[in-house]
Structure 1
Amino acid sequence: MGESAPLQPTRDPRVTLPDLVEVLLNKGVYLNLDLIIAVADIPLIGVNLRATLAGLETMLEYGMMRQWDERTRAWVQRSVARQVPLLPGEELVARMSGGVYADGFHHSWRPGTVYLTDRRLLVFRREPAEMLWQAPWEGIRAAGLCAERTVGGEERQRLQAEMVDGTSHLLSAADPEQLLALVQPRLRGRGATQEASATQAPAAPAREAHAWYQEMRAGSVLWRGGTARLERHAGLTWRSPLDARAAVSLAPRDIVDVEVRWGRTPRGQTHVLALTTADGTVLLAPDDAPGWAELIREITEKPASSGQVAEVDSGAHRR
Structure 2
Amino acid sequence: MTTEMTWRKKTILLTGAAGVVGRALIDELAPDFDIVCMRHRTPVADVRVSEFGGSFDEPRLGMSADDYAVLVRRVDAIVHAAAATSWKEDPARIREVNLGGPTALLRLAEQASVPLYFLSTAFVANPPAANGHSPGAAAYVHSKIEAEELVRSHPAASVILRPSIITGDSVDGRMSQFQGIHAVLGAIVRGAAPMIPMPADALIDFVPQDLVAAVIGKLLREGVETGEFWLTAGDQSLNARDIMDLCMGLAAELGLATKEPRLIPTEAVDRLIIPLLEDSLPPKLAAKFRDLLEFSWLFQSAEPLPNSLPELGFGKQIEKDALHRAAYNSMYYWARVKGLAPADGKVRVA
Q: If the TM-score is normalised by the length of the shorter chain, which range does it land in?
A: under 0.3
Name the structure with the higher helix share.
Answer: 2
Name the structure with the higher strand share.
Answer: 1
Q: TM-score, normalised by structure 2?
A: 0.23
